[in-house]
Amino acid sequence: MDQENTKQEFRSAEELHRFEASMMLGQTAVYLVGSGTLVNAFHGRDVSDFTRIGIGLFGIVLSLVFFLITRRCGLNLRGARRRAEELGSELGFKLYSPEYRAPRNRLFVGRNMTTGICLAGGFYWLVVLLNLVLG
């Protein structure tokens, strides 16, 4: 591959990396708004137990859907970053080199945090439903 094509692919990988990171942030915001709306509806004054069960089930489905979306987006994000790192080192660019970025922390990575938020939401709805049904 000639150098101009490599530079173009690097730009594309970098743009995809930024796009996927922005998408994860937006998806997390939408999930939190949706979950907050469900929590508010669930704890309303004039809500029957049957309606609460429906809201709880919908909360679990919402958490599962967003969990799958964020996992897929995270895989795309990781792939774009790895390709940008490969191309950057091949071209001599230092944008993705270790000396110019923050040290990696495996636990508090955006992918893990957004996935954890969805899992925590799903766990919350599961506990609420079990409490409602069994309690």
1 has pLDDT over 80? no
What does the pLDDT look like over 17-61, one tens digit per residue?
Answer: 889 889 988 999 999 999 999 999 999 888 899 999 999 999 999
Contacts of 28 (CB under 8 A, 6+ apart): 70, 114, 117
Q: 135: which DSSP letter?
A: -
Classify each residue of 106-115 as buried b or exposed e, where b means 16 or more C-beta atoms within 10 Å of its C-beta. Answer: eeeebbeebb
For the chain, percent of residues with pLDDT exceeding 70: 93
- Residue given tokens 């790192």 in the structure block: 85
What mean pLDDT do residues 3-17 have? 89
What does the pLDDT look like over 88-126, one tens digit per residue?
Answer: 888 888 877 777 776 766 666 777 888 899 999 999 999
Q: Which of 60, 62, 67, 32 is nearest to 132 (CA)?
A: 60
